[in-house]
Amino acid sequence: MKCDHKFVDSNHCLKCGWSPLEQERQMTKELIEHMLTSLETPHKELTKWEEDFLGSIGEQFKSRGTLSEKQTEILERIYSEKTA
């Protein structure tokens, strides 16, 4: 049965435990994985700076599973420029 979600003073549904924040985190994670994978074979050549940046956030993402908002922003920019 589909849960209609009930929230009281919490980000988790009282009935099923579902969390919109958790879901958003998961979606962001999948998006970052997708962008990092795509940029392993970019359509346009990466600059040295971009290669270094991707190398360092790739390591961080592998060990911590997250990136800062700023890093994600830059990643998105490189992704849209180089894989379009």
Quick check: 27 binds Zn ion (CB under 5 A)? no
Distance of CA 8 to the CA centre of its chain: 28
Please say whether the beta carbons of 71 and 77 come within 8 A: no
Q: Sign of torsion, CA 77 57 35 28? A: negative
Q: Which structure tokens are listed for 33?
A: 């994985």
Binding residues for Zn ion, rule CB under 5 A, total: 6
Q: How far is the CB of 40 from Zn ion (least distance, A)?
A: 38
Quick check: 15 binds Zn ion (CB under 5 A)? yes
Quick check: 12 binds Zn ion (CB under 5 A)? no
Q: How far is the CB of 12 from Zn ion (least distance, A)?
A: 8
Which residue, 10 or 63, is less far from Zn ion as judged by CB?
Answer: 10
